[in-house]
Structure 1
Amino acid sequence: MLPYLVLFAAGFAGSFHCVGMCGGFACALGRDQHGSGATALRHLLYNTGRLSTYCFLGALAGAFGQVVCTSAGSFATLPLAGPVDAAQRVLAIVAGLLMIVIALQFFGLLGRLHRLTTGPGGSPFATTLGRVLKAPGPAAPLAFGVFNGFLPCPLVYAFLAQAASTAGAVSGFLTMAVFGLGTFPAMLMMGGISGVMRPLWRQRGVRIAGTFILILGLVTLGRGVLPVGFFHGDHLL
């Protein structure tokens, strides 16, 4: 339970980064002419769409990690535990290093990388999002959120790396589900109070998110380089 609480807290802190990158999309949803209830539903559908994409990507990342570990065992002779353990360690090292790099980016230490991983701006994908947003019916905000979830985002990359390191589709799914739920409060508020949150909280929230990602990255890296049992039960995170 504790690992998922940490993931939720990291998602909540990181949601202020989401406000900066995707808050404009939440504001673009605006208010529904049928009242506050319809507006709340509109933003709930949008964020549910984002969450569904994160869960899908998390399951894929976890399945990829599982395939890597399974392949390591299938190409080896007995005993299988050695190659599988080695593959899990390599996966944890790669995922941990990626999370640490992204955390450093959140602290402003890797500006060039930041430019490579920010949103697509005026790309055709962003144009497509705008067209989806203007489509009539309640399905539009849901589809808008689903597409939004595929936008390049270093925060999502960090947690996908964590999902891959779990080496399981279900655990990867749960990792991204908990992370995504952590981003819900700020993004739902963004739909109601627009730009008020961004200047007050975004910078502080991004640094807190970077701290969480750095800790998770170090723990994940530690699973790959430290002796088995160091964390009192493997796969602590």
Structure 2
Amino acid sequence: MTPYLVLFAAGFAGSFHCIGMCGGFACALGRDGRGQGGTVLRHLLYNTGRLTTYCFLGALAGAFGQMICTSADFSATLPLAEPIDFAQRALAIVAGLLMIMIALQFFGLLGTLHRLTAGLGGSLFAATLRKVLNVPGHATHLAFGVFNGFLPCPLVYAFLAQAASTAGAVSGFLTMAAFGLGTFPAMLMMGGIGGVLGPVWRRRGVWLAGSFILLLGLTTLGRGVLPAGMLHGDHLL
């Protein structure tokens, strides 16, 4: 349970980044004048759609990691006592390094990589989302959230790397579920707190998110490079 609480906390910290990236879309859900009840329902549907996409991508990432590890039998001819363990370590190293790189983006470093991860296809996707939002009906708000979950985002990429390092579809699903639920509070309240949170507090939140991602990245990297058992709870995350 503890690792998922950490992921939830990281998602909550990362929700400050979500406010900057997707806050405009969230605010747009409250502009049809149908009352507070309708606004709450639209935000619930929207965020449920986002969570559904995150869980789906997490399961795919975890299954991909599992596929890499279980296909490690090809290396049985190499002088390795446990080829699957070798594959798990390699996967943890790659995932950990990727998370560390993304964390550095949150600290204002690696600007070129940030433009690639955040902007690749982002404008086209955003335009498509705006068209989806104009379609009437509650199903639109759910679909809006589902598609929004695919929007290029370095924060999501970081946790997908963590999901892949778990080498399991279920654990990958749970990893992204914990992260996605952590982003719920801020995104649900987006209509009310968007104007309250100033740039300074949002920036602090982004730094906090980067710190969580850096910690998770270092932990994941450690699983790959340190001897088994050296880290407390070797398979914690």
Q: Distance in 2 between matches of 1:209 and 1:12?
A: 8
2:24 corresponds to 1:4: no
In the alignment, what sits opposite 1:93?
93
Q: Distance in 2 between matches of 1:202 and 1:121?
A: 25
2:206 corresponds to 1:214: no
In the alignment, what sits opposite 1:57?
57
* Residues 23-62 of structure 1, C-alpha deviations (whole Å, 9 max, x = no match): 0111111244331111101011001100000000000000
| Structure 2 letter corresponding to 1:136 | P
Three-state SS of the structure 2 residue aligned to 1:123 is helix
- Change in Cα spacing, 1:122 to 1:103, as seen in structure 2 (3 Å) is closer
2:107 corresponds to 1:107: yes
Q: Distance in 1 between matches of 2:165 and 2:109?
A: 25
| Structure 2 letter corresponding to 1:60 | L
Q: TM-score, normalised by structure 1?
A: 0.94
- Change in Cα spacing, 1:81 to 1:147, as seen in structure 2 (3 Å) is farther
In the alignment, what sits opposite 2:184?
184
How far 1:121 moved relative to its partner?
A: 7.9
* Residues 193-226 of structure 1, C-alpha deviations (whole Å, 9 max, x = no match): 4333252521000000000000000000000000
In the alignment, what sits opposite 2:159?
159
Q: Distance in 2 between matches of 1:76 and 1:233?
A: 27
Q: Distance in 1 between matches of 2:82 and 2:120?
A: 43
> Could you say what the CA RMSD is over the residues aligned between the two structures, in angstroms?
1.9
8 Å CA contact retained: 1:66, 1:167: yes
- Change in Cα spacing, 1:40 to 1:70, as seen in structure 2 (3 Å) is same
8 Å CA contact retained: 1:53, 1:150: yes
How far 1:74 moved relative to its partner?
A: 5.3
Three-state SS of the structure 2 residue aligned to 1:76 is helix
- Change in Cα spacing, 1:200 to 1:39, as seen in structure 2 (3 Å) is farther
Percent identity of the aligned residues? 81
Q: TM-score, normalised by structure 2?
A: 0.94
- Change in Cα spacing, 1:225 to 1:75, as seen in structure 2 (3 Å) is closer
Q: Distance in 1 between matches of 2:171 and 2:131?
A: 34
Q: Distance in 2 between matches of 1:161 and 1:3?
A: 15
- Change in Cα spacing, 1:20 to 1:121, as seen in structure 2 (3 Å) is farther
Q: How many residues align?
A: 237
8 Å CA contact retained: 2:61, 2:161: yes
How far 1:66 moved relative to its partner?
A: 0.1
- Change in Cα spacing, 1:120 to 1:190, as seen in structure 2 (3 Å) is farther
Unaligned runs of 5+ in 2: none
In the alignment, what sits opposite 1:197?
197
Q: Distance in 2 between matches of 1:107 and 1:78?
A: 41
| Structure 1 letter corresponding to 2:188 | L
- Map 1:117-196 onto structure 2 (within 5 A): 117-119=117-119, 123-196=123-196
In the alignment, what sits opposite 1:38?
38
Q: Distance in 2 between matches of 1:123 and 1:214?
A: 28
How far 1:8 moved relative to its partner?
A: 0.5
- Change in Cα spacing, 1:102 to 1:140, as seen in structure 2 (3 Å) is same
Q: Distance in 2 between matches of 1:171 and 1:104?
A: 26
Three-state SS of the structure 2 residue aligned to 1:234 is coil
| Structure 2 letter corresponding to 1:113 | L
In the alignment, what sits opposite 2:27?
27
In the alignment, what sits opposite 1:71?
71
Q: Distance in 1 between matches of 2:13 and 2:180?
A: 11
Three-state SS of the structure 2 residue aligned to 1:183 is helix
Q: Distance in 2 between matches of 1:120 and 1:132?
A: 20
8 Å CA contact retained: 1:16, 1:198: no
8 Å CA contact retained: 1:48, 1:142: yes
